[in-house]
A and B are shown apart, each in its own frame.
Chain A
Amino acid sequence: MYGKGLRSLSISTIAVMTAALALVFFYAPLEAEQGFLQKIFYVHVPLAIVALCGFVAGGIMAIQHLRTRDPSWDMRSYVAIHMSLIFGVGTLITGSIWAKGSWGHWWVWDEPTLVSFLIVFLLYATYQPLRFAIEDPERQARYASVFAITAGAFVPLNFIAVRLSTAYVHPRVLGGTSNLPGPMALTFVVSLIGIALLYVTLCKYELTAKHARAQLRALRRRLTADDAATPPVRRSRSAAPTTLHPAAMMTARVTGKEGL
């Protein structure tokens, strides 16, 4: 069910990403002050925007989970946050490179966007430790959702607080792309779409993989259960349930692969 449309999505992601890279390197003009270095902007800023949107989306999915009690929402929220964390690492690394190049330091404290991103990232870094420290799958999903909602609300608040505390140094892009010249704005928008598509595709892959693994495990369990119950009196009863609680797959990931 999660695999539907995966191929077309992957192909369009590759197409848009290629187009974005082509635009970045061959179309977008060199910036007057920073020269070639400025091109990291087309990777760094979309990564940051997509990661933050992913964190907030994870919170919204967690609200859905708490409202509907449907464990698949919890899995979506988990995947969204997991992927955002990976994109967040990318954001911090590209941001550091950019800061080193243009300001001469790997880290600049008087730059609110980078600092607040770091705080958000540190908070979300505790998501997985929290999640995997709870054994019961149902409670794990519930607690993780509570965390995801709290942290999702924290993202914008934290940005406001940190921004208030420092003077603006960071190039303001979220305020509007109108201050960018036309070709740069076009390149930026295409890169943003490309990275967003990449995020969605990777999330979909992870969801599909998790779903497939759960199905496989359920089938395997049914197979071994069938073997064990050789006098098949009540086979339907001894068989393991075909659908597994999705959160259980995530516990299985840390506690080690289950035997065959």
Chain B
Amino acid sequence: MGALLRKELLVELRTLESVPGMSLFAVTTFVVFHFALNRNVVEGDLAAGILWVTLLFAAILGINRLFVADAEEGGFDGFLLAPVDRSAMLLAKALTLLVYLLVLELVAVPAFALLLLGPSLGHALPGLIGVLALGDLGVAAIGTLVAALAVRTRARDLLGPLLALPLLVPIVIGGARASSPVLASAHHAGPSARWLLTLGLYDLVFGLIAYALFDFLLED
């Protein structure tokens, strides 16, 4: 498992295929939002919405590329020949995606604060980190499952996002609702426990589903 994870991260470091693209996409999207909404600063609901939509679409870029190298260069065959549990691949890929998302957020959140966010990031940061971490876990689990499902189809670039978006809607609901009080300027409230709990439960359920079903995707 550790070896697999190291290999994934090494490949990404050498090729720089996904993460820089995702980060650049996120920053560009903030600029697009500035013009599309005609706002210089945002806060509260709107800020949470923009942040989550941007992160979601950037994540989908990464999800789309997650298994492409394995499908094209025979990584699946190599993995299946190795005497390891198949779930190791799920875990390695999900952790890789999680690392991608964390790096993405390291770039996107400061950029968001700089470009669009009205209230200062300092107050919001502790709450925001918790919400983002929970959301990332869910995106990583669902994204890995969906990427594996879509990668060996004819229209994978199309099917990946189409499959992923509806499944990620509850995460957007939870994430945006939980982070909107954090990003509001008026009162510095923490994220509501109800939404954090919802996000956590959703992560757990889909983590288990991905774990239970991933083996069936690797059978040939």
Contact = CB atoms under 8 A, between A and B. Distances in A.
Interface of A: 66, 119-120, 122-123, 126, 129-130, 133-136, 138-139, 142-143, 145-147, 149-150, 153-154, 157-158, 160-162, 164-165
Interface string B142-171: 000100011011111011001101110110
A130 B149 contact: yes
B169 to A, nearest CB: 5
A4 B22 CA distance: 56
B209 A149 contact: yes
B166 A119 contact: yes
B169 A129 contact: no
Contacts of A165: 173, 177
Contacts of A146: 145, 149, 213, 216-217
B7 interface: no
Interface string B125-154: 000000000000000000001000110111
Interface in B154-213: 154-156, 158-159, 162-163, 165-167, 169-170, 173-174, 177, 194, 198, 202, 205, 209, 213
Given A129-B162, A146-B213, A150-B145, A157 B152 contact: no
A215 B164 CA distance: 37
A147 B202 contact: no
B155 A133 contact: yes
Contact of A130 (B159, B177, B194, B209): B159
A66 B170 CA distance: 27
Interface of B: 145, 149-150, 152-156, 158-159, 162-163, 165-167, 169-170, 173-174, 177, 194, 198, 202, 205, 209, 213, 216-217, 219-220
When A and B form their complex, which 4 residue pairs have the shortest distance between CB atoms, in order from nearest? Answer: A123-B166, A133-B153, A161-B170, A133-B154
A149 B213 CA distance: 8
Contacts of B216: 66, 142, 145-146
Contacts of B163: 123, 126, 130, 147
Contact of A143 (B165, B205, B217): B217
A146 B142 CA distance: 13
A129 B170 CA distance: 23
B167 A150 contact: yes
Contacts of B213: 146, 149-150
A143 B166 CA distance: 18
Given A134-B154, A150-B209, A164-B194, A139 B220 contact: yes
A158 B168 CA distance: 10
Given A146-B213, A146-B217, A165-B177, A119 B153 contact: no
Contacts of A161: 169-170, 173-174, 198, 202
22 contacts: A123-B166, A126-B163, A129-B158, A130-B150, A130-B163, A133-B159, A139-B220, A142-B217, A142-B219, A146-B217, A150-B145, A150-B209, A150-B213, A157-B202, A160-B198, A161-B170, A161-B173, A161-B198, A161-B202, A164-B194, A164-B198, A165-B177
Most interface-central of B154, B213, B217 (chain A CB within 10 A): B213
Contact of B153 (A66, A130, A138, A150): A130
Contacts of A138: 220
